[in-house]
């Protein structure tokens, strides 16, 4: 199965900048996660409308936390965290919605699976500037999570084009990248490089 490339917004870029970048990179990514913690529901909705008008398919947009915004904008789904509504609660209310769940342990991954999540995001795998004071969980822990759940596992945290293959060797279904793409000198070149690494893996493991 083709490995996935999820791009997650950093919350540090203007709407105009983000829309311009997303317009150019969306053909190379599986999903764009709109993760804008400081924006109101109205602001997130406005950003998504801008992305849609710029040609980013709704089927490639996931909204972080805000189930209401995901529902009202007609995007692919929602990414839920520990502070969000429970996966099972959202699943009961919106059985058709695609739901990702952010987890940090095997037990959380198993809980997400039992609650009805469609995929999980696990990290952070390597050292990353966004989690300076937290120890990375590493590839061994990622391997354990992959082995202990049947859900697709998307790895996040400090993933570069150089370490993509080591991450995917664990059996992870894909990777998630924030600043490595969106804050690169050339986001388009960066997303192509990540995509290329995933495609090389896919080609060698058909």
Residues carrying an active site annotation: 124
* Residue 166, marked binder: no
State yes or no: 65 annotated in a binding site: yes
130 is in an annotated binding site: yes
Q: Residue 169's closest CA among 151, 149, 146, 152?
A: 146
Annotated ligand binding at 102? The verdict is yes
> Is 118 annotated as contributing to ligand binding?
no
Helical residues (DSSP H) of 13-150, grouped into ranges: 15-25, 41-53, 67-73, 87-93, 106-115, 138-147
Kindly tell me the burial class for residue 37, based on how many C-beta atoms sit within 10 Å of its own C-beta (0-12, 13-18, 19 or more): exposed
Q: Is 40 annotated in some ligand binding site?
A: no
The SS3 call for residue 49 is helix
Q: What is the DSSP letter of 93?
A: H
131 is in an annotated binding site: yes
Helix (H, G, I), strand (E, B) or coil at 164: helix
**Beta bridge mates, 201:** none
Three-state DSSP class for residue 128: coil
**205 marked as binding residue:** no
Q: Under a CB-based contact definition with an 8 Å cutoff, are residues 149 and 131 in contact?
A: no
Q: Annotated binding site for Mg(2+), which residues?
A: 65
Annotated binding residues: 64-65, 102, 128-131, 158
């Amino acid at each position: 199965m083709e490995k996935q490339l999820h791009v997650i917004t950093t919350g540090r870029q203007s709407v105009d900048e983000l829309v311009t970048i997303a317009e150019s990179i969306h053909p190379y990514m599986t999903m764009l996660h709109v993760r804008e913690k400081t924006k109101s529901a109205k602001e997130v909705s406005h950003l998504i409308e801008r992305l849609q008008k710029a040609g980013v398919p709704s089927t490639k947009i996931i909204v972080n936390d805000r189930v209401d915004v995901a529902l009202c904008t007609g995007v692919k789904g929602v990414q839920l965290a520990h502070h969000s509504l429970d996966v099972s609660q959202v699943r009961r209310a919106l059985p058709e919605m695609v739901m990702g769940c952010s987890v940090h342990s095997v037990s959380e991954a198993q809980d997400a699976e039992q609650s009805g999540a469609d995929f999980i995001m696990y990290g952070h795998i390597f050292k990353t500037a966004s989690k300076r004071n937290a120890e990375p969980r590493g590839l061994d822990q990622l391997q354990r999570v992959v082995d202990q759940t049947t859900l697709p596992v998307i790895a996040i945290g400090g993933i570069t084009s150089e370490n993509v293959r080591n991450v995917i060797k664990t059996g992870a279904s894909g990777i998630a990248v924030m600043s490595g793409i969106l804050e690169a000198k050339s986001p388009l070149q960066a997303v192509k490089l990540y995509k290329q690494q995933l495609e090389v893996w896919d080609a060698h493991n058909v």
